Structure 1
């Protein structure tokens, strides 16, 4: 399918046998519904959902009679300005929702013009000018991303951090701040949310092609960033941020010196063609020597994807300004030991490469935050040195031979780790399950694809500081799960989602005594057995702190045994039953369950 603004005759050249489908703009009522949906934050775009939403009702309640009439005038002006073009409506709504109602008329008056052909660009320019300064650089950075793709926000935020775009805030990590910037850009309609992550944060985003084109034009005019398909630049001395996109070649000559270059991002053929590049005949193609790196002394960000790189020059160790080093190349097999001298390095990304060992001094870099690689043999040595690590996300490749070592929980000195997210099978072979766990400060544990058993669950139930437990798809292999009397004594938030094998969950009388919130999702049928002491009926004070249970995406029912227990009565009072995945996304946000169920609809 090709989506284009070309006329019928021009579009027919793509395939003369297929008649183009002409999409009409929205009519006045449809424009009003879409506008209100974006401004007032209802879940769907249906008429009843928008004009019955709490946000729309709250706005109406604050308006006097004359202001209600003004609101109707706003709808008319929005339709007049946008002519029903959905993109224009969405972006304009994002601009207005960031302002008070009294400022709306001033904004709309600036957009009243007869130049309808340039209206979208005028709206985008006004929206960009209205962005806080902290967001302008973040938005313009999307100009360097390949167009018409879905972007992983973890990658985007890591680049923002390395560029120094994010303003530190007490009590917040840089990743948290990056998430807040993303949500504001989404709220303003400048980028689009595609998917949230299991914790309810922004995971995948995209940007409309016309907004992307505007960002590239603005970035070029402000000398913020340049995008090219090769390195043959007319004025390389002036370039500060360079983005090269070439999906026809995996080798682009780059012998030029870039004395003022701060950042270089390359996306070449290898990354786009997937595994087929491995089988292609490369005779006659040269490996890239990266000679431009030592000639560009002020580089802070290097992100090279798909280039034919066999080795990295040892002079890279002298590039002390580097904060982000990404080299994704199937040809790369080795890194020089000099990278241990990159004292400001925050991120190393060598996924897709064949690098197995990294010099031990690398793991002693104090600023190091993120390392992505495949089957690094030096991980054991690394964990022994990362005694100050607070947050660890470890994902195993989808391979039977690639597993997360059980010793991660017992052998390494991860005394300060507070958040542990394990995505992939945990290797339980040749281990002593009775070994003492060394995670005294762990307060959040996420397991996905871990394929653990009841014995494993009994042991993690003894972790003294664990407050939030998330069990996702294929995290548990057995059909029955028991929370013993000594289990999860500190847990306040529990999420169990898409555990296809689980049909029965037994809760002992002394387990999860501090539980406040439970979320259950994706079960066909689930029996919850509540056990008392030595066969006695479940005590009335079981889980006295329980506040709410969120149940969603259930194709069957939850059966509570015994049916007349105190817990059965309580769950019936607090359960929220819904088909909406938004509720589950919201409940996964640690510490903000109730608030996030509302806020989650705002972006």
Structure 2
């Protein structure tokens, strides 16, 4: 697209928060804890009913003074204390909390954290402790976290609620108590993401250590104990050392590695090739153009070869005294580690050329010079772990290389329920995975895996499958417990038919992609959507097609009544005028791309009473003006995002329209683009003034606001 201004990206930076004043502490408490509609509560906070708040209470200090004294105005302490008191049904219980905290001699924050933890219901404590297995300042996808809780045995169906539903309730409770923070809103990328404050994380580490809940391996030399049940790898220098010793009682192994900031420049170069999006990229083989034989080069270093004594050899990390290493490049391995072949000009008698292997640990941005035998040893450790740790229930390896093929020894972990291998160069899954009869979750996102063996799709206990456009075969087993398919595509030869999805009666999240142009596949999807018996519980739907058309029944089918979020990418066929009524009453999130719809369709979308998020991307809208001028439309819309609408010239927001809109994001637009608004005092306008001055300067007081133009100061319009 030409002549488009790119919107300002979101800013991520630290904000220094000063201690609260006494007034600010009281205001925060009243906002988060007290129910002002409940008579007498605010009076208690202000101290007007002191003496009634607790039996035998001789406190003469008003509540707001006690709040500030107990927390010292520290923001984290205030937030945690508010979360704790919010769980108390009656304000009379607050005195007991304050008296208990006052009796402790340790620091204020430590006292509050301890009491917050002790106050948790027993079944939630283990779930909260699980944040200790993650490195500090690490966010985790909420759905992924719940799946791991489920595999660990923390969740059991209760009161008619599924394990997933119960896990979400527990997580919401932790968020309500301010022990866990939502750091990213829900989206189709797997959100929301949650995390804990670094001081809360430090507290959890101590609690986990006392309870022998998890052993953290973060670079120290001491190997884990043989009776370790949960092992968390958090080091960068030697990721595999902890797996060298047998761990027969191991139940869970987790690794979480962040990107190395020292290679941000390299990561930026990597992202240029994929449009700025983070994708899994296989290791590139750098060949010497001048040497055609380098493609099949095999370098063998022989200790006895005196003529090779001057060769440069890659050192083994575990044995620095090893002066020789064998480097074998497989001709069929297109995704092998990066090779740099260095020819030794001084050694004319050397029959084999010498090489230096540079292996990239994908996703971590770290570079390590390794010999092939080093990587073989590391993969050997992983295979050994799978053979000896027969009680494994959770494997979550993020940004750690295990080879291009998952070892067949995975079948030894017969009790495995969660298998996640993400952000690495993994390419294939062995047929032996079908022997995991208890497997509930598979996560191979950000890898090169695009096809799973037929035996996998026969596992009856499957509940969640995450990947990058995995091929879903035409025939699968009885997957009646399956809730998540993200994301899948049809086999180019066989495609899909109605029987493919016949047994998936409990699907809640469905992400489909089809670029084959086979109309039969889309007919199948259309018939599945129209069948009220198949997608009765569907809550998220993503359809991405490039050579076919999307049918309107995604909005009009009665099977979509539970649908909360939808993303469509492809031409949307509007075959009826006027547009029929939509049957998605619970839809709150809608994203459109390439749909090429007109104003009439947008007007119909406006009737969705619960819609809070609307995203219109490239190729979505075909008119020059997009107007929101009806106060009866989009009653709940809070966030409106427009991106790359190349035909759009004017955005009009009327006087009574979009009354709840708080965020207006326009990522790119033409030079002549402007926003016609009535009231420049709206919250979304104030945000634009701070976040995107370029767009703010394009706001005009349009003709729809003539009656108010005389009342507004001249500086309010640009």
TM-score (norm 1): 0.71
CA distance in 1, matches of 2:513, 2:457: 25
Q: How far off is 1:87 after superposition?
A: 0.5
CA distance in 1, matches of 2:481, 2:176: 33
Q: 1:578 aligns with which of 660, 667, 671?
A: 660
8 Å Cα contact 1:410/1:437 also seen in 2: yes
Q: How far off is 1:348 after superposition?
A: 1.8
Report the counterpart of residue 57 of structure 1 in structure 2. 37
Q: Which moved more, 1:185-194 or 1:290-299?
A: 290-299
8 Å Cα contact 1:182/1:202 also seen in 2: no
Task: Give the aligned CA root-mean-square deviation in angstroms.
Answer: 4.3
Cα deviation, 1:291-342, whole Å, max 9, x if unaligned, reads: 1222222221111223331244433313211111222363433333222111
Distance 1:336 1:174, change over 3 A: same
CA distance in 2, matches of 1:313, 1:415: 30
Report the counterpart of residue 128 of structure 2 in structure 1. 139
Does residue 229 of the first structure (1) align with residue 218 of the second (2)? yes
Distance 1:526 1:499, change over 3 A: farther
Report the counterpart of residue 527 of structure 2 in structure 1. 437
Does residue 414 of the first structure (1) align with residue 414 of the second (2)? no
Report the counterpart of residue 102 of structure 2 in structure 1. 112
Report the counterpart of residue 453 of structure 2 in structure 1. 359
Number of aligned positions between the proteins: 506
Q: How far off is 1:33 after superposition?
A: 1.8
CA distance in 2, matches of 1:65, 1:460: 51
Distance 1:503 1:552, change over 3 A: farther
8 Å Cα contact 2:545/2:570 also seen in 1: yes
Q: How far off is 1:224 after superposition?
A: 0.9
Q: Secondary structure at the match of 1:171?
A: coil
Does residue 394 of the first structure (1) align with residue 486 of the second (2)? yes
8 Å Cα contact 2:136/2:198 also seen in 1: yes
Does residue 101 of the first structure (1) align with residue 80 of the second (2)? no
Q: How far off is 1:355 after superposition?
A: 3.4
Q: Which runs of 5+ in 1 are unaligned?
A: 1-19, 41-54, 397-401, 530-545, 560-571, 583-603
Report the counterpart of residue 306 of structure 1 in structure 2. 399
8 Å Cα contact 1:95/1:127 also seen in 2: yes
Higher-Rg structure is 2
Q: Mapping of 1:80-479 within 5 angstroms?
A: 80-99=69-88, 100-112=90-102, 115=105, 118-197=107-186, 203-230=192-219, 232-233=221-222, 236-249=225-238, 251-252=240-241, 254-268=243-257, 278=283, 281-282=358-359, 283-284=370-371, 285-287=374-376, 288-289=379-380, 290=382, 291-310=384-403, 311-328=405-422, 330-377=424-471, 379-381=472-474, 384-388=476-480, 391-395=483-487, 412-414=500-502, 416-417=504-505, 419=507, 421-423=509-511, 426-427=514-515, 429-432=517-520, 437-439=527-529, 440=531, 441=533, 442-443=535-536, 444=538, 446-448=540-542, 450=544, 456-460=550-554, 463-468=557-562, 475=569, 477=571
CA distance in 2, matches of 1:90, 1:520: 27
8 Å Cα contact 2:215/2:224 also seen in 1: no
Q: Secondary structure at the match of 2:169?
A: helix
CA distance in 2, matches of 1:455, 1:255: 54
Distance 1:464 1:103, change over 3 A: closer
Q: How far off is 1:38 after superposition?
A: 2.8
Q: Which moved more, 1:293-302 or 1:137-146?
A: 293-302
CA distance in 2, matches of 1:198, 1:182: 17
Q: Which moved more, 1:89-98 or 1:368-377?
A: 368-377
CA distance in 2, matches of 1:328, 1:496: 27
Q: How far off is 1:137 after superposition?
A: 0.3
CA distance in 2, matches of 1:391, 1:121: 40
CA distance in 2, matches of 1:376, 1:516: 33
Q: 1:504 aligns with which of 593, 599, 604?
A: 599
CA distance in 2, matches of 1:269, 1:248: 13
Q: How far off is 1:82 after superposition?
A: 1.0
Q: Is the helix fraction higher in 1 or 2? A: 1
TM-score (norm 2): 0.61
CA distance in 2, matches of 1:392, 1:21: 37
Report the counterpart of residue 25 of structure 1 in structure 2. 19
Q: Which moved more, 1:157-166 or 1:29-38?
A: 29-38
8 Å Cα contact 2:509/2:539 also seen in 1: yes
CA distance in 1, matches of 2:448, 2:123: 38
Cα deviation, 1:167-190, whole Å, max 9, x if unaligned, reads: 312432322211111110011111
Q: Secondary structure at the match of 2:38?
A: helix
8 Å Cα contact 1:304/1:327 also seen in 2: yes
Cα deviation, 1:402-444, whole Å, max 9, x if unaligned, reads: 8999966856233544556455754371315666713412244
Q: Secondary structure at the match of 2:155?
A: coil
CA distance in 2, matches of 1:428, 1:527: 37
Q: 1:556 aligns with which of 652, 659, 665?
A: 652
Cα deviation, 1:524-580, whole Å, max 9, x if unaligned, reads: 834799xxxxxxxxxxxxxxxx99943444663479xxxxxxxxxxxx9xx872124
Q: Which moved more, 1:150-159 or 1:167-176?
A: 167-176
Q: Which runs of 5+ in 2 are unaligned?
A: 1-13, 54-60, 271-280, 285-337, 339-357, 360-369, 617-624, 641-650, 665-718
Distance 1:516 1:153, change over 3 A: closer
Report the counterpart of residue 352 of structure 2 in structure 1. none
CA distance in 2, matches of 1:391, 1:91: 34
CA distance in 2, matches of 1:23, 1:550: 32
CA distance in 2, matches of 1:494, 1:426: 24
Q: How far off is 1:519 after superposition?
A: 2.6
Q: Secondary structure at the match of 2:92?
A: helix
CA distance in 2, matches of 1:64, 1:254: 57
Q: How far off is 1:474 after superposition?
A: 5.7
Cα deviation, 1:130-174, whole Å, max 9, x if unaligned, reads: 110111001100001111122211111111000011231243232
Distance 1:223 1:521, change over 3 A: closer
Q: Secondary structure at the match of 2:502?
A: coil
Distance 1:75 1:365, change over 3 A: same
CA distance in 2, matches of 1:150, 1:246: 17
Q: Secondary structure at the match of 1:246?
A: coil
